[in-house]
Amino acid sequence: MVILQGKSVFGGVAIGKIQFFKRDEIQIKRRHVDDPEAEIRRFRTAKEKALSELQQLYDKALTDVGEANAMIFEAHQLMLEDPDYNDSVENIINTQKVNAEYAIGVTSDNYAAIFEAMDDAYMQGRAADVKDVSNRLLSQFAKKQNASFEMTEQVIIAADDLAPSETVQLDKDKVLAFITVEGSANSHTAILARTMNIPAVIGIGDTLTPKYDGKLAIVDGQEGKIYIDPDEEILVAMRKKQAVEQEQRELLETLKGKENVTRSGQKINLYANIANVSDVGAALRNDAGGIGLFRSEFLYLENETYPTEEQQFAAYRQVAEMMAGKRVIIRTLDIGADKQVGYFNLEKEDNPAMGLRAIRICLTRPELFKTQLRAIFRASAYGQIAIMFPMIISVSEVRRIKEIMDEVKTGLRADGIAFSDQIETGIMIETPAAVMISRELAKEVDFFSVGTNDLTQYTLAIDRQNRNLDSFYDSHHPAVLSMIQMAAENAHAEGKWIGICGELAADLSLTERFLQMNIDELSVAPGMILPLRKKIREL
């Protein structure tokens, strides 16, 4: 048995034979041409054919994976029509008097290199798009069009990498999983895999070779592992894991579209917690009523420097659009404590959990805060966005935040940039101080969301990262539950709603207790939404 390790893109277990993806290699040769104008006409004709193919792919993807993911091929059409790309191709043909194929190949390499050199992981992923678009153009010149990849049985697709157009054309009924040598978790292909519910492991490296073609394998998407020629013990264990997944899928299908309501008629909202744009697919598949916690700090954790306003705006806008009018609650930057970012240059602290973190960083670095707020407010024009502020301990903090938000709004109006005037603002209840003054805080905001992880830590005076204290740590401690209840009562007394977005929200043993507290919303990992709905409907 051989075990290969890669990066998980989408969970799930698949068992079957490996089939390596084969594509016709397009050979590019440099040829001198006497009539550059005729060669440019060849290029433009090929471009029109490629645009037509991309439109067909868009139509197919629209049916298979929805509008948000079909837009990949709309973006590819725009890339093909990009003036800089076209000017580069035609300029090479004119100045060097060479064939269109060579000019396309050089332009493709140049543009892909630019994207690959960028620090941003999302932009690096666009290099694959440039190559995909260019290969589509080049295929128009080939006498023999690339034959479609044939699968005679259900298989695990293996490849060096897969372009979005290749992924969407696969026969989904015959794809058990896909595994790749290279690949980015931020690539369109990865997003499509998650949307299509195909277990996927990428970045396996050179250990994944064609010598495994036809071998029996197991893909454990959750662990990012590939078992080739698995022994009987692993086969039995993985089949059991598959059976559990099948039960979950059946649960998902039966509960989709149903209300989160108890037998006695009490309703509660079930939202999803996400860390980035790629998690939205899982939220939608699991029938989330909205996004209760968008952990915006992951935009900072995944970057090598401060994400720009445009980067943040693009992410927030995409989530708002994909959720199509459902509430999206974006938590502002929550860096510090166990989430350290080098380029913030924070001083070393003896007790970082009680140090400069979250809203404290934002209020001491207002320009950083304003950049994020501008991006969020701009995105609010594209959906129902709400803002939530972490680690609040005083009314004065909330009032200072409001002043900064007013400054940001004034700046946006001056710049003529649209944003929603109906955006809700809320705070995290995760300190005992916030609980004790929650009645006063409720007068300042539209909602509360309880962060039970930190609330438990601060209430019990136990570092939740310290394994030596596990026997003392009790997330069900009566003091913690009493604090949640106090915050709920004070929120409702001021006519405001309250949710829970910490780990306790998904604790099925506490669901009934939370309903008794009249909690209005529970926000959990996408995979917990339907089990939680089942629990609620049985109470």
249 labelled binding-site residue: no
Nearest to 498, CA basis, from 483, 511, 484:
484
- Rounded to a whole number of angstroms, the CA Rg of the chain reads 26
Domains along the chain with CATH numbers: 2-23+149-232 (3.50.30.10), 36-139 (1.10.274.10), 267-538 (3.20.20.60)
Known catalytic residue: 492?
no
Give me the mean pLDDT over the 47-56 stretch: 90
pLDDT in tens, 200-225: 898 898 899 999 999 999 999 889 99
Distance set, CA 435 to CA 314, 334, 386, 395 (Å): 35, 19, 21, 12
Q: In this structure, what token pair is assigned to residue 20? A: 């390596």
512 labelled binding-site residue: no
454 labelled binding-site residue: yes
pLDDT at site 48: 93
Q: Which one of the listed residues 32, 188, 362, 477 is annotated catalytic?
A: 188
Band of pLDDT at residue 121, cut at 50, 70 and 90: low
Band of pLDDT at residue 145, cut at 50, 70 and 90: very low
Q: Which one of the listed residues 32, 76, 476, 501 is annotated catalytic?
A: 501
30 labelled binding-site residue: no
Report the alpha-carbon distance of residue 487 to residue 465 in Å, rounded: 25
pLDDT at site 148: 52
Report the alpha-carbon distance of residue 374 to residue 187 in Å, rounded: 26
430 labelled binding-site residue: yes
pTM above 0.75, yes or no: no
Band of pLDDT at residue 339, cut at 50, 70 and 90: low
295 labelled binding-site residue: yes
pLDDT: which is higher, 70 or 139 = 139
**Is the model's pLDDT at 437 over the cut of 60?**
yes
Known catalytic residue: 188?
yes
Report the alpha-carbon distance of residue 394 to residue 434 in Å, rounded: 7
